[in-house]
Amino acid sequence: MPLPRFDRLPADRQELILAIARGHFADHGTEAASYNKIIEAAGFSKTAAYHYFDGREDLLSAVLDGVLDRLLGALGPWVAARGEAEFWSRLDAGALALEAHLQGHPDDLALADAAIGHTRGETGPWLEWFDDLVSDGQRLGVIRSDVDHELLVTVTAAVVRAADAWAVARMKAPPTPAGPQEADGAQLRRLLRGLWSETGSSSDDGNADAQ
């Protein structure tokens, strides 16, 4: 996390520094981006940079935390559904909102998988969102209860992360002519139904898609 002196900077200055760093990490990758070039672009010396961050990894951590916050902001908090149809509707709405955010914020798009895989994403608010989702689904009988809750939350989050990474790669790829394809959300729903069903049956996919 940034050092206390960074938090004392004006908010617009903090955001400018993080935006510059985010752009460099997005353009060059979290491993290859140059710390020296980032701080030079931000307008301060390497000595001054150490007043704000412990080093490159500290700055990267702050950038990824910011990306994760925006991803969760796009999803919004999980709100308990009144029934199965509303549960799936809320899940679809969250997925669409997240996709729209990523399409409109290319730096967040480039860093989304790294942000989710960041330590905070494995133990903090990202996993908590899925805990709320799974708990609500179990309450409604949509999600199985014969598997350890924590394991089910972790695996659900991993499936969605993999699906997001796949969708992100598709967004980044140049468009190619193709015939009609199943929507990304429908494919994710099919995966989740298989994971969440005690029998693993997907025979009611058609009904779910119609809801």
Please state which CATH class domain 4-63 belongs to.
mainly alpha
* Range in 21-25, 58-62, 80-84, 116-120 the model is least confident about: 116-120
Mean of the pLDDT values across residues 173-188? 64
How far apart are alpha carbons 97 and 139 in whole angstroms?
24
Degrees, nearest 5: CA angle 180-184-186: 90
For the chain, helix (H) and strand (E) counts, in that order, are 12, 0
Mean of the pLDDT values across residues 176-182? 54
- Position 175 confidence tier, pLDDT thresholds 50, 70, 90: low
**What are the tokens at 194?**
């298989």
Mean of the pLDDT values across residues 33-51? 91
Q: Is 19 left (phi over 0), alpha (psi -120 to 50) or beta?
A: alpha
Q: pLDDT tens for residues 89-113?
A: 999 999 889 888 988 999 999 999 8
How far apart are alpha carbons 58 and 28 in whole angstroms?
17
Q: Output the pTM of the full model.
A: 0.83
Residues 6+ apart with CB under 8 A from 83: 140
The domain segmentation of the chain, as residue ranges, is 4-63, 65-210
* Burial category of 102 from C-beta neighbours within 10 Å (exposed 0-12, middle 13-18, buried 19 and up): buried
Contacts 24+ apart (CB under 8 A), 191-194: 191/159, 191/163, 192/91, 192/156, 192/159, 192/160
Contact call for residues 142 and 84 (beta carbons, < 8 A): yes
How far apart are alpha carbons 75 and 128 in whole angstroms?
13
Q: Among 111, 151, 137, 135, which Cα is nearest to 189's?
A: 137
**What are the tokens at 176?**
């190619």
